Chain A
């Protein structure tokens, strides 16, 4: 990895009233922290849910797991559900072996399922 790609932030898109962050690059700790900041700030503008697509993420260690849980906690009141979608099998197996979970987060297989979950959360409240 070169320094240029290492410094790229994760871009956050607004899909109607849902925030979508699709992680497409190798995540350094500082990029993960920047994502948390961006999502927390954008959620303040009034959103119904946050979706984080991790289908391209090759490892989730305790740092990223913590940042994801913090995003869920920080956006819960303003933005409803945070859904993590698309986790790869080796990542899930490794997290379970390590004893890592994703407290406070919802999970979904695909982006469509994640959107449906956000909708369901909205109806349920």
Chain B
């Protein structure tokens, strides 16, 4: 490493510290921060501060082009969290890499614009190296983060297995297929409740024709879902209770509370249309 490069890194460290706020403000508007921190810009700015600070430490350390320096640990931690959130939201590793790469431009532009002539050249080289290192660290994380990848795949799988059908104006239905464990129930509930909001649904039909077994645990999951639907201001009907399943329910002494049940999806739809037509005023 040459003296000039080292001087560049020090200049970048000083620059990042002095321009911490402006840079965080600019980063907060880029895809990576916006997509991760959807609840508010303040939070995005806060997260951006964290990354600026971590990069400042790396620049201060001097070895801006070495992906193995310990000073990068903080950068890794800050980035890992965002990348995990992005991949859980379904972004692919190349997409995430592009989003991380986007962070470079404001830094280079600001260094180029604001540093004095004497410092600029070396600082630009160091800043470019630093942001290149950031990009490599990002790629390394998104490719190796097995946990996030598994979580994403699992989520996509359960979403594929939970289509919400619009059967009629203000009537939605979820055909449930396979076993209903608690992770599955969570996804079904979230997907169904969102669909109720989007479709202005007044009735939700849970069709369990494809559920092989109803035990106390599954019954509890169905009741939870029905309760949540009711809290949302819609009504819930469970359909597809085959004679066999009805028998088990009776034998196990399972109490389905006051959940409305119907033998077939067609029966449930008929009930739903009655609800939509009479009890609730049509817009």
Q: Do B194 and A109 have beta carbons less than 8 Å apart?
A: no
> Given that A109-B196, A109-B200 are known contacts, is A87 also in contact with B231, CB under 8 Å in the complex?
yes
Q: Is the interface of A mostly helix, strand, loop or mixed?
A: helix
Chain B residues 256 to 283 lying within 8 A of chain A, measured CB to CB, are: 279-281, 283
A89: chain B residues within 8 A (beta carbon): 190, 193-194, 196-197, 228, 232
Q: Do A87 and B224 have beta carbons less than 8 Å apart?
A: no
Chain A residues 71 to 125 lying within 8 A of chain B, measured CB to CB, are: 84-89, 91-93, 95-97, 101-102, 107-110, 112-117, 119-120
Q: Do A86 and B231 have beta carbons less than 8 Å apart?
A: no
Q: Do B233 and A108 have beta carbons less than 8 Å apart?
A: yes
Contact indicator per residue, chain A 12-54, by CB within 8 Å of chain B (1) or not (0): 0000000000000000000000000000000000000000000
Verify if B52 is at the interface (C-beta below 8 Å from A).
Answer: no
How far is the CB of A2 from the nearest CB of chain B, in Å? 15
> Given that A87-B233, A96-B224 are known contacts, is A113 also in contact with B190, CB under 8 Å in the complex?
no
Considering only CB atoms, which chain B residue lies closest to A85 in the complex? B233
> Given that A101-B227, A113-B202, A120-B279 are known contacts, is A93 also in contact with B189, CB under 8 Å in the complex?
yes
Q: Do B227 and A96 have beta carbons less than 8 Å apart?
A: yes
> Given that A85-B233, A86-B233, A89-B190 are known contacts, is A112 also in contact with B228, CB under 8 Å in the complex?
no
A112 to B232, CA, bound (A): 14
Q: Do B281 and A116 have beta carbons less than 8 Å apart?
A: yes
A69 to B228, CA, bound (A): 17
Q: Do B232 and A107 have beta carbons less than 8 Å apart?
A: yes
> Given that A92-B193, A116-B281, A120-B279 are known contacts, is A109 also in contact with B232, CB under 8 Å in the complex?
yes
Contact indicator per residue, chain B 198-231, by CB within 8 Å of chain A (1) or not (0): 0011100000000000000000000010011111
Contact partner of A87 among B201, B232, B281, CB < 8 A? B232
A59 to B233, CA, bound (A): 16
Contact indicator per residue, chain B 176-203, by CB within 8 Å of chain A (1) or not (0): 0000000000100110011011001110
Verify if B238 is at the interface (C-beta below 8 Å from A).
Answer: no
B200: chain A residues within 8 A (beta carbon): 109-110
A108: chain B residues within 8 A (beta carbon): 233, 280
The 7 sampled A-B contact pairs (Cβ below 8 Å) are A89-B190, A92-B231, A92-B232, A95-B231, A116-B280, A116-B281, A117-B280
A-B contacts besides A93-B190, A109-B201, 8 pairs, CB < 8 Å: A89-B197, A92-B229, A92-B231, A93-B189, A96-B227, A109-B200, A109-B232, A109-B233
7 cross-chain pairs, A with B, having the tightest CB-CB distances, nearest first: A116-B281, A89-B193, A109-B233, A107-B233, A92-B231, A108-B233, A92-B228
